[in-house]
Amino acid sequence: MTRFRCFALVVVACAVTSAAPGFAQPAGAGLAHTRWGDPDLQGYWNNNTLVPLERPANFAGRDSLTDEEVAERAASWSALIFADRPGDPGFYNEFWMEYGLDTNRTSLVIDRPNGQLPALTPRAAEVRQAISDRWRASSRAPATYLDRTLADRCLTRGMPGTMTPGYGYNHNYQILQTPDYVVINVELIHDTRIIPLDGRPHPSQHIKQWLGVSRGHWDGDTLVVETTNLTDKVTERNGGPTVFGVGENLHLVERFTRVSDDTIDYRYTVEDSTTYEEPWTAAIPMHKIEGPIFEYACHEGNYSIPNILLGARAIDRADQPD
């Protein structure tokens, strides 16, 4: 069974772009509907891409690249991650990486115009700095279980992280529909989002969940999903290309519009005045793939935490006087 994967030998070819699907496109005419009349979003989808969340400084003022620059971006990324270096052989298994269908966008962030995330509020900046300080300290002292992120522990990537690419693998989703629900089965860290469409209100803000509580409705051919009731336990940026969780005051609005047989225009808007100085929106095309969703045996095979703790205890014993 073939998944959409771009192998090492063809990484540049896989990055050659077309007209940047998934960005400000109208709903496709004549697309399939369910037997009860809703636009049909069902199937298996992948949202991975080499387009970064934020626009790199060298592309300031530009929202798109030439095809040649897109190919160069793919080649540079591959060389950076997988190149052999003295004393550091790099990764050996590029074969398994899922590069996705690249587009000519310079960033997934489309609103703000500069392609950058807005500034953090002073309180959020303090939280982010505290997390960074703890990570740096853990590299110089015996480790504890508190030094591992929720993603390391295979618990969650939070929101909007669950719907945001950034790892290069397993960014696959299965969407199922009934007249009353939309279900999104997420392969990475095996989350499942169950979204009612019946107009029920959000529960009390005292009820918090890892992925929040979502409510959906149809706006023409677009599925609009509003998510609140997040927990403040998922706030890591992880020092990488994605945002995991924003915080307990996040109001996330997602929009799913099927624009062709093979593409869903997916975008979300992050609103949280306690974390960001202003709202921001990202647009991430989802491309149809062959199924099924595979079991993501993350925690079952995750020996990093016990091994880290075993190593730390060995250091403790070595430091004890005889």
| Contact predicate 170/164, CB 8 Å | no
Instruction: Answer whether residue 11 shows pLDDT above 70.
Output: no
**DSSP character at residue 175:** E
User: pLDDT, tens digit, for every residue of 71-97?
Assistant: 998 888 777 666 665 555 555 566 667
Of residues 189 and 131, more confidently modeled: 189
Against a cut of 0.85, is the pTM above it?
A: no
- Number of other residues whose CB lies within 10 A of the CB of residue 113: 10
Rounded to whole angstroms, the Cα distance separating 233 from 251 reads 16
Mean pLDDT, the chain, integer = 82
Name the nearest CA neighbour of 81 among 46, 50, 58.
50
Give whole-number Cα distances, 91 to 3, 81, 82, 238, in Å: 21, 7, 5, 20
User: pLDDT, tens digit, for every residue of 95-131?
Assistant: 667 777 778 999 999 999 999 999 999 988 888 888 7
